[in-house]
Amino acid sequence: MATCLVTGGAGFLGSHLCDELLRRKHRVICVDNLETGSLANIAHIRQPEFVHLNLDITEPYHVDDEPIDVVYHLASPASPIDYLRLPLHTLKVGSYGTHHTLGLAKKHRARFLIASTSEVYGDPQEHPQTEAYWGHVNPIGPRGVYDEAKRYAEALTMAYHRQQGVDTSIIRIFNTYGPRMRPHDGRAIPTFLRQALQNQPITVFGNGEQTRSFCFVSDLVRGMIALAESGYHLPVNVGNPNEFTLLELAQAVIEATESSSELVFEPLPTDDPQVRQPDITLARELLGWQPEVELIEGLRRTIDEAGLEALAGVSP
Ligand code: NAD
């Protein structure tokens, strides 16, 4: 049994990670100030092996437990709606929050994993994206607060590894979906599901020809734990390489929900990437990992597990 500290453990991905770590019989310390997460995501966890600490990681913080074996650092606003609303907080979480959490991992001699993102590639000029690609990011656009915070956090992580000897890892997460996404968080899948379940028009940005790759949350969590348990230090892409246009995604959501919604088109947000597809050769070779849940099945599981009312935004 290992003791794992999960920052952002009351968020969408973090709460699924806590569930899986507990299922594997680990102890879990969840550090989350509920900025974008919710107690509802962890209310079902009743084991004594789980504790939630309401701490803001942008301030120095300490955890008395000893030992701490693995630190999963997920805390950060993640959806565009959140980081556009919280630009300075997003930069502070990526910088101060990551400093404090790396310092904690160093003190406890813990393995450290940071949840980075495919957004470090920006609007990529290389397709699909391999870990060797350095990215094409606009630092001063509205999305820069998120993209650059994550790029800084990666640089900080490598500096703690190279100079301070911390045992670090970096997961570059591509779009992930599943139950517990908030219906109004602005990301494509919860938005489309909410609109489809209410039989309202589905809002597609641009002409809908831009592509994304969608990974179901259970696949992502499996890859994240496999990377944390490896001894690897350089970034690893984890995501589903099956690429869909936004139009195809909208059709899949209509099929999964048996909705009568029609499509409407709205202007593209600033710096919206045109393509997004992970090259997961490294994850396959290093971790023996690959996604198992295809889009239609993942959408159906999301609907079954989250419930129609929650997805439609009728109940919290
Ligand atoms: P989320 O918003 O649901 O979870 C983030 C959690 O961090 C929330 O519970 C929030 O309350 C917490 N948090 C924020 N600021 C904090 C602070 N100062 N102190 C303590 N807790 C704080 O987002 P998510 O989708 O679960 O994303 C989790 C991580 O994965 C993020 O780092 C995100 O950048 C990364 N990621 C997610 C995706 C995705 O598709 N979901 C893709 C790429 C990267």
* pLDDT single digits (tens) 82-138: 999 999 999 999 999 999 999 999 999 999 999 999 999 999 999 999 999 999 999
Nearest of 247, 245, 243 to residue 263 by alpha carbon: 247
128-167 pLDDT, tens digit each: 999 999 999 999 999 999 999 999 999 999 999 999 999 9
239 and 32 Cβ atoms separated by less than 8 Å: no
Q: Which of 121, 146, 160, 177 is catalytic?
A: 146
In degrees and rounded to multiples of 5, residue 72 shows phi and psi of -100, 115
| Two structure tokens written together for 61 | 């913080």
Residue 146 annotated in active site: yes
316 band by pLDDT with thresholds 50, 70 and 90: very low
Atom of ligand 1 nearest to the CA of 41: 9
Task: Supply the pLDDT for residue 314.
Answer: 60
| Domains of the chain listed by start with CATH number | 3-176+217-238 (3.40.50.720), 178-212+242-277+293-312 (3.90.25.10)
Distance from Cα 117 to the centre of ligand 1, integer Å: 11
Atom of ligand 1 nearest to the CA of 58: 18
Find the range with the poorest average confidence among 69-73, 127-131, 255-259, 308-312.
Answer: 308-312
Distance from Cα 79 to the centre of ligand 1, integer Å: 8
CB atoms within 10 A of CB 63: 17
Task: Supply the pLDDT for residue 110.
Answer: 98
Matching residue, tokens 């919604």: 261
More confident: 310 or 206: 206
Cα 227 to chain centroid distance, Å, stands at 15
pTM of the model: 0.96
Nearest of 117, 88, 110, 248 to residue 176 by alpha carbon: 117
Distance from Cα 221 to the centre of ligand 1, integer Å: 14
Mean pLDDT value across residues 220-237:
98
Q: What is the CB < 6 Å shell around ligand 1?
A: 7-8, 10-14, 31-37, 56-58, 74-78, 82, 93, 97, 115, 117, 173, 175-176
Residues making up the chain, counted from first to last: 316
Which of 29, 36, 152, 191 is the pocket-test mutation for ligand 1 (most atoms within 8 Å of CB)?
A: 36
| Two structure tokens written together for 189 | 């899948």
Angle between helices 295-306 and 188-197 (to 10 degrees): 60
Quickly list DSSP for the chain: --EEEEETTTSHHHHHHHHHHHHTT-EEEEE---SS--GGGTTT---TTEEEE---TTS------S---EEEE--S--SHHHHHH-HHHHHHIIIIIHHHHHHHHHHHT-EEEEEEEGGGGBS-SSSSBPTT---B--TTSTTHHHHHHHHHHHHHHHHHHHHH---EEEEEE--EE-TT--TTS--HHHHHHHHHHTTPPEEEETTS--EEE-EEHHHHHHHHHHHHTS---S-EEES---EEEHHHHHHHHHHHHT----EEEEPPPTT--S---B--HHHHHHH-------HHHHHHHHHHHH-HHHHTTS--
Protein residue closest via CA to atom 34 of ligand 1: 78
**Gap between the Cα atoms of 179 and 88, Å rounded:** 28
275 band by pLDDT with thresholds 50, 70 and 90: confident
Mean pLDDT value across residues 53-74:
95
Above 90 in pLDDT, residue 280? yes
Task: Supply the pLDDT for residue 65.
Answer: 79
Which of 5, 12, 18, 83 is the pocket-test mutation for ligand 1 (most atoms within 8 Å of CB)?
A: 12
Which residues pair with residue 172 across a beta bridge? 116, 237
Which of 59, 71, 76, 227 is the pocket-test mutation for ligand 1 (most atoms within 8 Å of CB)?
A: 76
173-186 pLDDT, tens digit each: 999 999 999 988 88
| Two structure tokens written together for 45 | 């966890």
Residue 273 CA neighbour count, 13 Å, CB half: 28
Atom of ligand 1 nearest to the CA of 114: 32
Task: Supply the pLDDT for residue 307.
Answer: 79
Atom of ligand 1 nearest to the CA of 14: 26
Peptide bond preceding 128 in cis form (omega within 30 of 0): yes
Distance from Cα 227 to the centre of ligand 1, integer Å: 18
Distance from Cα 8 to the centre of ligand 1, integer Å: 6
Task: Supply the pLDDT for residue 308.
Answer: 75
**Gap between the Cα atoms of 316 and 302, Å rounded:** 16
306 band by pLDDT with thresholds 50, 70 and 90: confident
Beta carbons within 8 Å of 266's beta carbon, 6+ residues apart: 203, 204, 205
Distance from Cα 30 to the centre of ligand 1, integer Å: 13
290 band by pLDDT with thresholds 50, 70 and 90: very high
Above 80 in pLDDT, residue 200? yes
Atom of ligand 1 nearest to the CA of 10: 9
**Gap between the Cα atoms of 253 and 247, Å rounded:** 10
